[in-house]
Amino acid sequence: MNRRTTPPLPSPEPPAGAEVREVVDAVARAHREHWSVVLAAVVRLTRDLDLAEDCTQDAFVQAMRVWPEGVPANPAGWLTTVARRVALDRLRRETTLRRKLPLLVDDEPADDEQPTDPLRLVFTCCHPALARESQVALTLRLICGLTTREVAAGLRIGEATAAARITRAKKKIAAAGIPYRIPADHELPDRLDAVLTVVHLVYTAGHVAAGPELTRADLTGRAIELARMLVRLMPVETEPEALLGLLLMTEARGTARMSTDGELVLLADQDRSRWDVKLIAEGVARATDALVRGGGRFALQAAVAGLHVTAPSWERTDWRQVVRMYDAMMISWPTPIVALNRAAARSFVPGADLPEILAELDALAAEPALQSYPYLPAARADVLARLGRSVQAAAAYAEAITLTGNEAERRFLRRRHDELT
């Protein structure tokens, strides 16, 4: 693309003279909603992740300077055009970069609308040459636009560790010449599980966010958007549809997770009339279809979510069936977290042997993956409280409080702790 074919910089449109706070909010909203789309478009142009990140960030900086004159009607289009122009200027100044492009991009029309570009980025971030922890960190950085500090908080790791994972992943992509594209049909099955896992982790990072707010709608929304893209890309595969169903059913309960006075409400105490019935209907339909067609671990997780959202109350939940789903998961996906969820579900089966379940939870404490996982001591505290062992339950709640990174959860756990003491 030469200077004559570079699209003109869009002129901001009314409202003119926007207030500073309105502009800051508009830029922040655009960052949440459009970061990955803008970045992906620039990656396609530059073939360089670091350069694309810099140019995308420059576009948002320019928005802070220009948008006070009027926020554009199409923020994503404005930002994409600005970022691409910044990138073109840099590429012209650094002509040698064209001979050292680390990303291989398929030739295709250079139109401004590339709806699959974010999905290309996901597949690039989740290439099998990268370690899983690097895949997750890079996806949170590039797809969700999180800072390194936010990535570290979301993954409960140190900031230096997060930075190292992101840097290592970018260098690996450059050194290995990992292509920036959606894999060919014959490659998709081998790549799908990693992509689904990372998309689910992105949703989880937003569902219980690090910091003062319980959720981050930008992360949960981005994960649902990516899951929908995967369903459209691979309509015959069951697991993308199962994952989408799982996320929709989880999202449907979102408004009931916080009380009117801003306190966390567990599923057992939620006002089910506040659940989003449309999201539940779509989620149940997708999960059912995936199960009928013989889905895998995400179909089983969606089945658990379906049992919860279709139960008329917490007490009337089919806990035995929930446990059966976790039994099946332990065969195909035997992770410590699945074992923890299975034990917790067993504790709610009528007539459950709580001392036996407590022993099972105590044994899980030796699992390295659960050493800093706050839901293990929280589950132990709940079982101990039901056994009448208040002092031990309070100690377990105190441990959970120190491990959680979310303030809403911390307040909830502190209330439970104080009720016992």
Q: Based on the fold, state whether residues 200 and 188 are members of the same structural domain.
A: yes
Q: Tell me the percentage of the chain whose pLDDT exceeds 70.
A: 90
pLDDT at site 342: 98
Structural domain contains residue 344 = no
User: What is the Cα–Cα distance from 230 to 407, expressed in whole angstroms?
Assistant: 33
Structural domain contains residue 24 = yes
Are the C-beta atoms of residues 400 and 374 closer than 8 Å to each other?
A: yes
Q: What total of structural domains would you count in the chain?
A: 4
Q: Based on the fold, state whether residues 182 and 206 are members of the same structural domain.
A: yes
Structural domain contains residue 52 = yes
pLDDT at site 343: 98
Q: Based on the fold, state whether residues 179 and 254 are members of the same structural domain.
A: no
pLDDT at site 95: 58
pLDDT digits (tens, 9 = 90+) for 10-37: 444 444 444 778 888 889 888 878 888 8
Mean pLDDT of 231-252: 94
User: What is the Cα–Cα distance from 258 to 407, expressed in whole angstroms?
Assistant: 13
Q: Based on the fold, state whether residues 228 and 300 are members of the same structural domain.
A: no
Q: Based on the fold, state whether residues 197 and 140 are members of the same structural domain.
A: yes
Structural domain contains residue 12 = yes
Q: Based on the fold, state whether residues 188 and 264 are members of the same structural domain.
A: no
Quote the radius of gyration of the chain (alpha carbons, Å).
23
- Return all residues near 208 (Cβ < 8 A) that are at least 6 apart: 214, 215, 406, 409
Structural domain contains residue 170 = yes
Q: Based on the fold, state whether residues 318 and 361 are members of the same structural domain.
A: no
Looking up residue 393, the CATH number of its domain turns out to be 1.25.40
User: What is the Cα–Cα distance from 42 to 246, expressed in whole angstroms?
Assistant: 32
pLDDT at site 295: 73
pLDDT at site 117: 66
Helix axes 217-233, 188-207, angle to 10 degrees: 160
pLDDT digits (tens, 9 = 90+) for 363-417: 999 999 898 899 999 999 999 999 999 999 999 999 999 999 899 999 999 999 9
In this prediction, residue 106 has a pLDDT band, given cuts at 50, 70 and 90, of very low
Beta bridge mates, 105: 180
Please name the residue ranges forming H helices in 94-158.
117-125, 132-142, 148-155
Structural domain contains residue 32 = yes
CA distances from 42 to 38, 48, 53, 61, 73 (A): 6, 9, 8, 16, 21
Question: Of 235, 251, 274, which marks where a domain is finished?
Answer: 235
Question: Of 235, 255, 280, which marks where a domain is finished?
Answer: 235
Q: Residue 370 is part of which domain span? A: 352-421
Q: Based on the fold, state whether residues 266 and 297 are members of the same structural domain.
A: yes
Structural domain contains residue 108 = no
Structural domain contains residue 411 = yes
User: What is the Cα–Cα distance from 363 to 231, expressed in whole angstroms?
Assistant: 39
Q: Based on the fold, state whether residues 222 and 122 are members of the same structural domain.
A: yes
Q: Based on the fold, state whether residues 141 and 207 are members of the same structural domain.
A: yes
Secondary structure of residue 211 in the 3-state scheme: strand
Question: Of 235, 268, 298, which marks where a domain is finished?
Answer: 235
Q: Based on the fold, state whether residues 143 and 194 are members of the same structural domain.
A: yes
Q: Based on the fold, state whether residues 231 and 256 are members of the same structural domain.
A: no
